[in-house]
Amino acid sequence: MFPRLKSVLFLKCPRCTEGKFLEKPPYSFSTNKVLDKCPKCKVKYHLETSFYTGSMYVSYAVGVAIGVTVFVLSYVIIGWPTNPLGIFGIIVLVLLLLLPYISAVSKSIWAHFFIQYNKNLADKMKNR
């Protein structure tokens, strides 16, 4: 798997792809607080004040993508909806269940836009 994609999906450091990105897992009933820096390579995650505010735009795009995917899957499984509110309810339920992960992965995607991946550092961290 591509190291950057794996790093985004498993909420790892954008630079070394090994260190933790969040203080706690997304479903730990706390806010998805990003660590100050990577425990492995020491890269600073907060590049400026309110850096992760921009992740709201990414969260919206991820939510729309998941909503469309759920609609298409329900269309394939159920067929053309005779009750559009039922399909809408399924989409809302899936989005509510995935909300903590969507929030966390959106912050990870946002950080990956701005923090450069370093292959040499990643290889060095894997060999430790």
Residues 6+ apart with CB under 8 A from 128: none
CA–CA separation, 34 and 27 (whole Å): 14
Residue 120: the pLDDT is: 76
pLDDT at 73 (0 to 100)? 87
Report CA-CA distances (Å) from 5 to 13, 96, 118. Answer: 11, 24, 14
Rounded Cα distance between 103 and 128, Å, is: 31
Phi and psi for 104 in degrees, rounded to 5? Answer: -65, -45
Ramachandran region of residue 42, left (φ > 0), alpha (ψ -120 to 50) or beta?
Answer: left
| pLDDT at residue 1, as a whole number | 54
128 residues of the chain, pLDDT tens digit each: 587 888 899 999 998 888 899 998 888 877 778 999 999 888 899 888 888 999 999 999 999 999 999 988 887 887 766 677 888 888 999 999 999 999 999 999 999 999 888 777 777 766 66
Residues 6 or more apart from 64 whose CB is under 8 A from it? none
Could you tell me the pTM of the whole model? 0.84
- Residue 80's pLDDT is 67
